Amino acid sequence: MFKKFFNNLMGNEEENKKKESVPYNAGAPVNQNLNEEIEEDEDDEDIAQYQFDPVTHHGTHYDPQDFEAAANNLYEHYLDGEDEPLSQQDKNNLKREAYRKVYMDWNGHDFDQLAKFEMANSLELTGFVTSGFDQVKEEGNALYEPIHGISLYDYAAIAHGMTQGIAEAELLKAFGIDSTVWGEVNVLWPERMKEDPTYGIMAKYGEYFAAAGQHPKLAGLTPGIGSGSTNSNLEKLKTDRYFYEELCGARTAAYEYGLDGAQWIVDNYGINLADFQAVAMDWMTQQNQDFNSESIRHYMDYQEEKRKEYAQKFAKEQGGNVADDIEF
């Protein structure tokens, strides 16, 4: 690991002082002085509340071009201070660190807001797409061209229809293809997902799958008996975050005790894996778009609590844990 990045992570005072002295805030927002007030008293409830662009999550109190200039200036300073050759990954880490520092200084040192900014701009900052943020540019990208006339949205809709028990022949007829063409489509779209280094196709597929029920070509097609479309548990899973977290915990506990967690949910709640994953995508998207670390910790703790409860249930059904017979 290169020295100065490591020193920064470890909080080396000498290195941090050098970085603090960098004139990176050239072109900073007019109310830059607020940063000094924040550093002097981070608990001051009177600190001005910033407004943010809903797409880029840049503060509206500055020009994004000024931000880019300041972040790149700091990044160049970091590079100039290195005394060892850096790999591309090391350079990427330094650049991300520079962006983080400038963003925090310009926007009130709000870690949750920083997380939103990084997710909204993850393609530029990390090279990967984050679910819930529309960074995918399909137009002009050969990877998104339809395969045998079947777009990614069509492909997700067909896959969704099959999970609902709609007859394959009926589905393929609605989309104007036969089983031979479908066989090729069902191989080539997953192959494109593997080819996409940004994971954009996979993220977009998840979004399309979650919304596939609204695809016009599925209108009027009849789901199979017992499909998720008539399952009250599935509707509850979509609207009740605690119920969703409970089933996530139960599924994890089931796998820990040698059970098929996905099948356990089907057997007990009638929710198949595809529907469960679609709902999971919805919850993850909502969480990303309205990132709140306190809320995330709350639901993680709740899921862990439920995992332990179900672990005890499964242990009892299997005759108890081995550790139950050990006395200390």
Whole-angstrom distance, CA of residue 39 vs CA of residue 80: 27
Q: What is the pTM of this model?
A: 0.65
Supply the pLDDT for residue 260.
95
Q: CB atoms < 10 A from the CB of 38, how many?
A: 19
| pLDDT tens per residue across span 141-175 | 899 999 999 999 999 999 888 888 889 999 999 99
Identify the band that residue 20 occupies on the pLDDT scale cut at 50, 70 and 90: very low
| pLDDT tens per residue across span 97-125 | 999 999 999 999 999 999 999 998 888 88
Is the model's pLDDT at 290 over the cut of 70? yes
Average pLDDT over residues 263-286: 87
Tokens of 261: 């967690």
Supply the pLDDT for residue 321.
60
Average pLDDT over residues 50-59: 92
Identify the band that residue 19 occupies on the pLDDT scale cut at 50, 70 and 90: very low
Identify the band that residue 224 occupies on the pLDDT scale cut at 50, 70 and 90: low
Average pLDDT over residues 279-285: 86
Average pLDDT over residues 215-225: 82
